[in-house]
Chains A and B, each alone.
Chain A
Amino acid sequence: QSVLTQPPSVSGAPGQRVTISCTGSSSNIGAGYDVHWYQHLPGTAPKLLIYGNTNRPSGVPDRFSGSKSGTSASLAITGLQAEDEADYYCQSYDSSLGGSVFGGGTKLTVL
């Protein structure tokens, strides 16, 4: 059971917009700690997509965007492409646990 809750799967057709939610609590996201997002293809190194809630590292397309409100955060992907099919993870800090915590991951399927 992950501290941060993500839907197990989402799907969308090419060109569509999808969002992935990350729900936490008052000891992590709700306490104001930053949320970061990663894209992960099995067998490869996870890739940082969004850091500090809304910031994109150099090289990440602006089709990817992050937001945060209250005890939740979201990753939005617009103009869905086949290459976006991957697992996505959110990460934050939990003051009760005293360390980084990750969501359980969401598998994105491009139909």
Chain B
Amino acid sequence: QLQLQESGPGLVKPSETLSLTCTVSGGSISSSNYYWGWIRQPPGKGLEWIGSLFYSGSTYYKQSLKSRVTISVDTSKNQFSLKLSSVTAADTAVYYCARSVGVWGDYFDYWGQGTLVTVSS
């Protein structure tokens, strides 16, 4: 059974960079059939797609976040990571990593449990 697990600091100061890692187990991140994405949910709000990547390194980002987001992959560790720079309180959210069958609006079939990141001084 595929499992995804997010990890990283739960508290980030304003203007700093949020860094999270998603560890994939029970399957290979190098599969050519899947993409790997990050989605977040601010408190009391809905889900927001941040971006996705293919194991080869190709990345796809939400337009409004593109200048601040970097998603990368480490196939040797079966992990992919999210970096979000210059964070503000508006970036406070539960961050999920997930697997999708494509990148253009395709569904996410496996999700991590999510990790809360709070932006505060």
Q: Kindly list chain A residues whose C-beta atoms are within 8 Å of the C-beta of B45.
A: 104
B46:A57 contact, CB within 8 angstroms: no
Contact indicator A33/B105 (Cβ below 8 Å):
yes
Number of A-B contacts (CB under 8 A): 67
Q: In angstroms, how far is the closest chain A Cβ from the Cβ of B110? A: 8
Of A44, A48, A94, A99, the residue contacting B109 (CB under 8 A) is A48
Chain A residues whose C-beta falls within 8 Å of the C-beta of B114 in the assembled complex: 43, 45
Q: Which residue of B lies closest to A101 (CB)?
A: B49
Classify chain B's interface size: 20 to 34
Which residue from chain B places its CB closest to the CB of A105 in the assembled complex? B46
Q: Tell me whether A68 is interfacial, beta carbon within 8 Å.
A: no
Interface pair A99/B49, CB less than 8 Å apart:
yes
A100 touches B49 (CB 8 A): yes
- B79-121 near A? 1/0 per residue, CB < 8 Å: 0000000000000000010100000111111011110000000
* Interchain CA distance A43-B109 in the complex, whole Å: 17
Give Cα distance in the complex from A57 to B51, angstroms: 24
Q: Given A99-B60, A99-B63 in contact, is the A48-B107 Cβ separation under 8 Å?
A: yes
B107–A102 touching, CB < 8 Å: no
Chain A interface residue count, Cβ-Cβ cutoff 8 angstroms:
28
CB distance from A71 to the nearest CB of B (A): 15
In the complex, the answer to whether B48 meets A102 with C-beta atoms within 8 Å is yes
B113–chain A nearest beta-carbon distance, Å: 5
Q: How far is the CA of A51 from the CA of B99 in the complex (A)?
A: 14
Separation of A52 and B107 alpha carbons in the complex (Å): 8
| Contacting residues, chain B, for A103 (C-beta < 8 A) | 46
Report the Cα distance A43→B115, complex, angstroms: 9
B113 — nearest CB in chain A belongs to which residue? A45
Cβ of B104 to closest chain A Cβ, rounded Å = 5
Nearest first, the 9 A-B pairs at minimum CB distance are: A93-B105, A45-B111, A36-B107, A100-B49, A102-B47, A104-B46, A51-B107, A105-B46, A99-B62
